[in-house]
Chains A and B, each alone.
Chain A
Amino acid sequence: MSDMRQDQLALFSALFVRTDEATYAQLTAPDSWAALAARDSALALGQPPSFDAYRHFMNTMLTPGVPGALPPVESLYKDWGGHRAGLQHGQGYYLGDAAQHVRAVCEGLKIQVPDAFQAMPDHLVLLLELFEYLRVHAPAQDAADFAAHHFDWLGTYRDVLADRAGQRDDAALEEAAASYGQVLACIEEFVFAGVREARMREGHSLSEERSAEEVVLQ
């Protein structure tokens, strides 16, 4: 289980943080790709994007500063500062409340935010790593709380990615966006499964039928 989650996490990282061709090939080999879907998920993933398609998607859709790009950073898709914002309210800004909370969590856990992510501690990949850490080391409630507050934007994100890719009259991009949409669904599933597992570890009974969302938000 744990190994598989590590594999999944590695693949998510590769897809959302720039990766070289050899590593990408390794990570998207058929076995790894198949393992991406969580065990109990019914998701059909199709083929992974080719390296060229991945690179094209990365360059045009995920790279900060490129006009129209949508970097996978939570703050950009949430209100910036709640009631504290002075400078701006609204969406599309780095280092909003989401990022400030992640920073506070990292500080509390004595985890250093890597230099490259100073302006985006709420980058999807870091959120996933932090979640995994909490799943293993923290009380299940903490992992669930973190999941509820930091992965609730993925649905919106999936939609804007698809919309934006659709605006560009670029079939390769749309195809890659569809793959990424599925991967984002896998990520949600990965998180739900993680929360379930944490709760089971603590002896919660999950025998009663509850949706993954309910478990997360509990």
Chain B
Amino acid sequence: MPRYGMMIDTRRCVGCFACRLACQMKNTLGPAEGFVHFEHLETGTYPNVDAEVVPLQCMHCEDAPCQHVCPTGATFTNEDGVVLVDESKCIGCKYCMVACPYGVRMIEEKSGVVEKCRFCWSDELGGPNSPSCVSTCIANARVFGDLDDPESEVSKAIAANDAKPIAGDLTKASIYYVR
């Protein structure tokens, strides 16, 4: 079984929003909705400044707080380590939104389901269908693949760059950041 994960390199990210747009289309989100959020961090004082953009989305935590608090089991982790939402079970109680330390759960207006990034999971394909945030990224700031396969592009990139989850060991996140 693969265990899917991603590496995001904020040294490359320029906050162009392409991932948000591509994701909206692929996941049929509304024009005001997005699975990807952006933190704009400005540091220093003029003229010694830096500006980092940190894209945030579901971290697909191994120890997922949103899953723990879900009263109906709507939020679950599949065999491939991808945290998904069973729409038919979601009652829209928003516990998960409160529990998520990354603030990346989102109410989908059309359905009322509290959704999130699903690594473009496709039931038909039985796997991720080429995550669009990765394939569209103009700065090549994202790498996706199997974290358990040391030969995968993502594993190699994480090792080479010493990438770390954004909040350390907090939730055993599957998205690693290079900053």
Contacts and interface: CB of A to CB of B under 8 A. Distances in A.
Contacts of A86: 25-26, 28
Interface string B1-34: 0000000000000000000000011101111110
12 contacts: A81-B28, A82-B110, A83-B110, A84-B28, A86-B25, A86-B26, A88-B31, A89-B28, A89-B29, A89-B31, A89-B33, A89-B110
A90 B25 contact: no
Contacts of B30: 89-90
B129 to A, nearest CB: 12
Interface residues of A, number: 11
A84 B28 CA distance: 7
Contacts of B110: 79, 82-83, 89
Chain B interface helix/strand/loop/mixed? loop
Contacts of A88: 25, 31
Interface of B: 24-26, 28-33, 110
A82 B28 CA distance: 8
Contacts of B32: 90
B56 to A, nearest CB: 22
A96 B50 CA distance: 45
A176 to B, nearest CB: 31
A1 interface: no
B172 to A, nearest CB: 32
A85 interface: yes
B79 to A, nearest CB: 25
Contacts of A81: 28
B18 to A, nearest CB: 15
A90 B31 CA distance: 6
A216 to B, nearest CB: 24
Contacts of B25: 86-88
Contacts of B33: 89
A89 B34 CA distance: 12
Nearest to A82: B110
B28 A85 contact: yes
Nearest to B32: A90
A87 B33 CA distance: 14
A123 B25 CA distance: 26
Interface in A44-96: 79, 81-90
A152 to B, nearest CB: 16
Contacts of B28: 81, 83-86, 89
Closest 5 CB pairs of A and B: A90-B31, A85-B28, A90-B30, A89-B30, A89-B28
Q: Which of the listed residues A79, A81, A82, A85 has the most CB atoms from chain B within 10 Å of its own CB?
A: A85
A210 B112 CA distance: 31
Nearest to B111: A83
Contacts of A82: 110
A86 to B, nearest CB: 5
A83 B28 CA distance: 6
A79 B108 CA distance: 13
A100 B110 CA distance: 19
Given A85-B28, A90-B31, 16 more contacts: A79-B110, A81-B28, A82-B110, A83-B28, A83-B110, A84-B28, A86-B26, A88-B25, A88-B31, A89-B29, A89-B30, A89-B31, A89-B33, A89-B110, A90-B30, A90-B32
A88 to B, nearest CB: 7
Contacts of B29: 89
Contacts of B24: 89
